[in-house]
Amino acid sequence: MPSTDARPGVRNNEGRCHTITEMIIRPLAAEDRGTWEPLWHGYLEFYRAALAPDVTERTWEALIDPTSPVHGLVAEQDGQLVGLAHLILHPTTWATRPTCYLEDLYVAKPWRGRDIARRLIKAVYTFADESRAATVYWHTQEYNAAARSLYDTLAHRTSFVVYER
C-alpha cells in the first residue's frame, strides 16, 4: 500500500512509495562529537591541512561553549551528519554591529551536489541576521571552482587579496 505521508516520496520498482526524509540544519550539540570529527577531518584533508590533536580539541571546545564567539551548524540527513559550517561573530571597526566570518564549510563527498552547502550558507545568513551581524564573509581557495560557482550565486566576490604570515 502506498504511503499516505504527504511529504515527497519516490516510487521503487515495486510501486511502493518511500518517504525522502527532510534535511535538518541545526546547531552543533555536545553529543555530536563522534559524528562531527570525521567531517572535520574530511574538511582538513580537502584543504591538505594537518592540525595537531590539541587544535581539534580546542576547536571542539569553542564550538560547544555557549559563551564562545565560535559557532557550529550541521546538516543532518537520516540521523547522520553530512555537512558542517563553523562561524565566528566578531567586532569590526567598520560597523557598529558585529560581522560573521564563515570560517569552515564542508559537505561529505557522498552528499555533494544535493544543495546542502547552499542550505548551510543560508542557515549561516539566518544565524547572522538573528545575531544582528552587519555582514557575512568567507574565503575559499582559487582552485575550488565547484564551491566558487555556488558562492557566486549567494554573495558577491570582493577585490580583496588575503595575506598572511
May I ask the CATH class of domain 23-138? alpha beta
Among candidate residues 126, 117, 118, 152, the one with its CA nearest the CA of residue 46: 117
- Give the pLDDT of residue 162: 85
Compute the chain's Rg from CA coordinates: 18
User: What are the residue boundaries of the structural domains of the chain, listed by start?
Assistant: 23-138
- 128 sits in which H/E element: helix 116-130
Nearest CA among 110, 92, 109 for reference residue 100: 92
CA–CA dist 51, 141 (Å, integer) = 18
How many helices (H) and strands (E) the chain has is answered by: 4, 7
Angle between helices 116-130 and 145-154 (to 10 degrees): 40
Give per-residue pLDDT as tens, 21-77: 688 999 999 999 999 999 999 999 998 999 999 999 999 999 999 999 999 999 999
**For 87-141, how does the pLDDT look when each residue is reduced to its tens digit (9 = 90+)?**
999 999 999 999 999 999 999 999 999 999 999 999 999 999 999 999 999 999 8
Residue 13: all three cell numbers together: 520498482
Whole-structure pTM value:
0.84
| 3-state SS assignment for residue 53 | helix
Q: Of 165, 137, 161, 162, give the one whose Cα is nearest residue 151.
A: 137
φ, ψ of residue 146 in degrees (nearest 5): -60, -50
CA neighbor of 68 nearest in space, from 58, 56, 53, 83: 58
